[in-house]
Structure 1
């Protein structure tokens, strides 16, 4: 009977621990990225009555507490730095105080006073640095905001959608202007004047720039065939897109701008026509821009962080890193939704999102807890009943022992 008392006690202990796990799951039902745990029990064998080939158990023990790594549902937010993972993987964060690396599914990040992307605990999110000038991807480092000002981009190409009236009289003129940018981001307005000739239209470029010495010696002519299409062989320059050279613009570098109206085969791309209708410009484009200030940051499903500037430029500056493990159940819980590598988890495989086994990034979302309240309440009821049953074993065994003691009387 003494043995049955200890069996009952083991049941009380095991179910008390199970109830603690259930309570922890329910308490974290609103914790972002939380993974519910499940308990497993094992019987205790300690006696064998060999003469009767009987094996008597000695109760139960808590065999393990295993986290359930199924993904939680995603909740939309208004913050671009709230991130969740669609699929496998963990975010990588570093503790700046000691350099220790942790891992997490909770992606509630924000920019700190130093411009670093951090977790609520101040741990810095890790990713791959990207050179804004060349786009080259570097090694893993802290994700930080780029310089608040983007460099200007000098204009290298322009194009027009334009018709020049084939019915115009010789000497008639038409003017078209386009704003371009030098290497310092200053505006250089190109005024292209067209003059009707007997064979087509001559053109010449003048420059309206903040430096009065700026000038362009670029000239040429456009000639059309009977269908109103450009005849590249008769144009000046022949069979080539002209280059507009802007010189004397002060400390900025001289501009050499290609005016594109021929395709790769040196035939007309259809942007400039010579029909019998009023000369007009319907479209224009150029690829330069001035310097700009950082306005916002966007994140895509591949984990690229892109700075959006006031000049309209969008420049990637980092890509977030994810880590995959051979055994997620072996990760060591550290609190605050953090995990650490252990011998049981194996070493992490770190890489960009959407590569190998790693999932993609869902920006402006947070992964919710995967706790199922219905399941937890059922487990709570069964654990409570198991606890009551084991306590009944103890009280019944005590009654039997009391009855045995009363025999002596």
Structure 2
């Protein structure tokens, strides 16, 4: 009797967490570069009422009798599917078409740079290419910051991340800087730290290594860079609302298990009046 109570409690806790994740996904439906999450469940260790008996010459085998003890969370996965493209025609707005992340950080940063899919970059007063938080975008060669020279009239960014400067005469040439892209073996292993940023972990790349390389490299499998576009959130509202209904009904069903178990226990108590 008490097992059903605790199973219902575990189910309510699990679906509450699922609703929390769904709520966060919906809240970030318009967040640039946001990747939605999902909750996966697993059953808790079952209690064995009777064990297994093997077959012999006179009698066949008998299966075990087990009673489950509820549910728990198996994982909260980050789904790194591509979001839709939004055209802005702003040169410093960048979108990675394929695998990879932008690397951003500070010059004196002691730990590895942070990773992001949010490419809404701008130039600061010192002509550094930075994100909305002021973190500098790292170049492919050497991993240093990208500083646009002030002797060019305008610039563009090629699909391989190469920055092309245009002078007063209209002539164009590479300035020798390239926006870097980091390939991650297991993107779901990255740690979210807020601000559209991820922190590298040992389960995302071997030994947590970060190598800032070129975009569109077939050897590493990095995607190309599209200038003038941003990657939108990959959250699908239709799917999220459907999962919300499932979570709501699951929560209600588990609460009914607790109510029913309580009523049965009340009848047992009333046997002795």
Per the normalisation by structure 2, the TM-score is 0.90
Aligned residue number for residue 96 of structure 2: 85
Q: Could you tell me how far 1:143 is from its partner in structure 2?
A: 0.4
Query: Do residues 407 (structure 1) and 240 (structure 2) align?
Result: no
Give 1:139 deviation, angstroms. 2.8
Give 5+ residue unaligned stretches, structure 1.
129-137, 150-293
Q: What is the rounded CA distance, in whole Å, between the counterparts of 1:93 and 1:144 in structure 2?
A: 13
Match of 1:35 in 2: 35
Matched, 1:60 2:71: yes
Structure number with higher relative contact order (C-alpha < 8 Å, ≥ 6 residues apart)? 2
Find the partner of 1:364 among 228, 231, 235.
Answer: 228
Two-structure CA RMSD over aligned residues (Å)? 1.4
Q: Of 298, 318, 343, which residue of structure 1 is paired with 2:202? A: 343
- How many residues align structurally? 255
Which secondary structure does the structure 1 equivalent of 2:39 belong to? Answer: strand
> Counterpart of 1:407 in 2: which secondary structure?
coil
For residue 140 of structure 1, report the CA deviation from its aligned partner. Answer: 2.6
Name the structure with the higher helix share: 2
Superposed structure 1 runs of 4+ greater than 2 Å apart: 50-53, 95-100, 347-350
Q: Tell me the equivalent position of 2:57.
A: none
After superposition, where does 1:67-216 map in structure 2 within 5 Å?
A: 67-96=78-107, 98-100=109-111, 101-128=113-140, 139-146=142-149, 148-149=150-151
Shift of 1:104: 0.6
Q: Describe the SS at the equivalent of 1:127.
A: coil
CA drift at 1:350: 3.1
> Where in structure 2 are the equivalents of 1:244-255 lying within 5 Å?
none
What's the CA shift for 1:14? 0.3
Picking from 245, 254, 261, the partner of 1:397 is 261
User: Closer, same or farther in 2 for the Cα pair 1:398/1:364, shift >3 Å?
Assistant: same
2:56 matched residue in structure 1? none
**Matched ranges for 1:326-337 at <5 A:** 326-337=185-196
Q: CA deviation at 1:83?
A: 0.1
8 A Cα contact 1:82 1:364, kept in partner: yes
Give 1:78 deviation, angstroms.
2.8
Match of 1:310 in 2: 168
Specify the SS of the correspondent of 1:325.
coil
Give the aligned partner of residue 319 of structure 1.
178
Structure 2: distance between partners of 1:31 and 1:106: 9
Structure 2: gaps (5+ residues):
53-63
Contact 1:92 1:102 in 2 (8 A): yes
Q: What do residues 231-275 of structure 1 show as CA deviations (whole Å, max 9, x unaligned)?
A: xxxxxxxxxxxxxxxxxxxxxxxxxxxxxxxxxxxxxxxxxxxxx
Determine helix, strand or coil for the equivalent of 2:74. strand
* 1:181 matched residue in structure 2: none
Q: Distance in 2 between matches of 1:33 and 1:325?
A: 16
- How far apart in 1 are the matches of 2:252 and 2:107? 49
Deviation at 1:51, TM superposition (A): 5.3
2:115, 2:198 within 8 Å by CA — same for their partners in 1? yes
Which has the higher mean CA deviation after the structures are superposed, 89-98 or 77-86? 89-98
In the alignment, the residues of structure 2 paired with residue 33 and residue 366 of structure 1 have an alpha-carbon distance, to the nearest angstrom, of 8
C-alpha spacing 1:124/1:105, structure 2 compared with 1 (3 Å): same
What CA distance in whole angstroms lies between the structure 2 residues aligned with 1:343 and 1:95? 22
TM-score, length-scaled by structure 1: 0.61
Deviations 1:7-35 (A, max 9, x none): 00000100000000000110000001111
